[in-house]
Amino acid sequence: MTDIRWLDETEMAAWRAFLSTSHLLERRIEEQLKAAAGLTHPQYEILVRLADAPGRSMRMTELARGVVVSKSALTYQITQLEKAGLVERATCPSDERGVLAVLTDAGRRCLERVAPGHLEVVRAYLIDRLSRAELETMTTAMTKTERALRT
Amino acid sequence: MTDIRWLDETEMAAWRAFLSTSHLLERRIEEQLKAAAGLTHPQYEILVRLADAPGRSMRMTELARGVVVSKSALTYQITQLEKAGLVERATCPSDERGVLAVLTDAGRRCLERVAPGHLEVVRAYLIDRLSRAELETMTTAMTKTERALRT
DNA sequence: GAGTGCTTGTTCAAATCTGAACTACTTTTC
DNA sequence: GAAAAGTAGTTCAGATTTGAACAAGCACTC
């Protein structure tokens, strides 16, 4: 057994701040999206990813990885978005098993309508409060962790 | 109407990295806690907060605010932890409406048993990958956002 | 080119989360 | 000190999440 490595004060402060802030921000974002468009945050992220993707479409698994939800959660959400007319399913030409989630025109318009208000929140609570240097440090820090977790 | 303020490349990179990383890390932590002790992350956080609190107890609302969950989610989780014998409810002496969540001895032992493995994950993916300067920048950055969101 | 093992996406049951409605108590106001 | 307004915690219904089990298609081996 190795020694227990507790967190010192600096480490604990960083971890606690990160944890609380990510949850608080998540809640605030959910609230804003729900009020503005009846969307959940995962749903919004799905629309964003699809809008950025070539052909406005992505494979289910790839999309799930991007949005960071389970495959079953994605299946559920795509079904919801399909009901709302914002996304469609198409069969993948190269792989018979595959399913493509495709952004509809209504989906694109919805995103264009919702994005500004969403970004206002992201700015108001996070981005606009940080200096350029802080933004860059955050990116490198987060990216290290992300890479480690994507393996 | 004000102009739409999109995020530039630096801002978007920071936001995307923060978002993905927080979700990925959350998932990894859930997985570890579930495997090691059958606890969810909110449950673990409840135990930590109670262990740090004077009298190893806290009011429900205060605890909900700390852990960043809704009051109803806390009610649910405290009930679960009570069934597991890790927490007890007590009536608040100063306020007849109030309920105190109190950490039991079993709860304290559980936390002592689980904490090292949990902290290993927090270290392995986040803390140990960051320099002292990065940790400090992250704390100040996150704290700004947290303060704004706690108002 | 049949067999074995992966990968894909869905379905399912169980757990959890949220906000709204509610009851009961406290605090403020006049 | 009664009435009004606010706060604490629970209950409830509905939405969402997850992992496990599954069916179907791909890909590699010999």
Q: What is the pLDDT of residues B6-25, one digit of tens each?
A: 999 999 999 999 999 999 99
- What's the structural domain count of chain A? 1
Note whether residue A1 is domain-resident: no
Confidence of residue B151 (pLDDT cuts 50, 70, 90): confident
The C-alpha R_g of chain B, in whole angstroms, comes to: 18
Say which CATH number the domain at A76 has. 1.10.10.10
Q: Which residues, including other chains, have CB under 8 Å from residue A7's CB and lie 6 or more apart?
A: A15, B119, B122, B123, B127
Average pLDDT over residues B34-43: 96
Which of A16, A68, A150 is best to mutate for the B interface (most B CBs within 10 A)?
Answer: A68
Note whether residue B62 is domain-resident: yes
> pLDDT tens, B107-129?
999 999 999 999 999 999 999 99
Note whether residue B3 is domain-resident: no
Place of tokens 């108002």: B151
Note whether residue B124 is domain-resident: no
Average pLDDT over residues B125-138: 96
Note whether residue B88 is domain-resident: yes
Residue A114's domain comprises 12-149
Strand order of the β-sheet with B99-103 is B57-59, B99-103, B87-91
Q: What is the mean pLDDT of chain B?
A: 95
Note whether residue A4 is domain-resident: no
* Predicted pLDDT of residue A5: 86
Give the nucleotide with minimal C1' distance to the Cα of A76. D16
* Chain A: closest CA distance from residue B93 (Å): 29
Confidence of residue A2 (pLDDT cuts 50, 70, 90): low
Note whether residue B70 is domain-resident: yes
Note whether residue A5 is domain-resident: no
* Predicted pLDDT of residue A141: 96
Tell me the chain A residues in contact with residue B10 when contact means C-beta distances shorter than 8 Å: 132, 135-136, 139
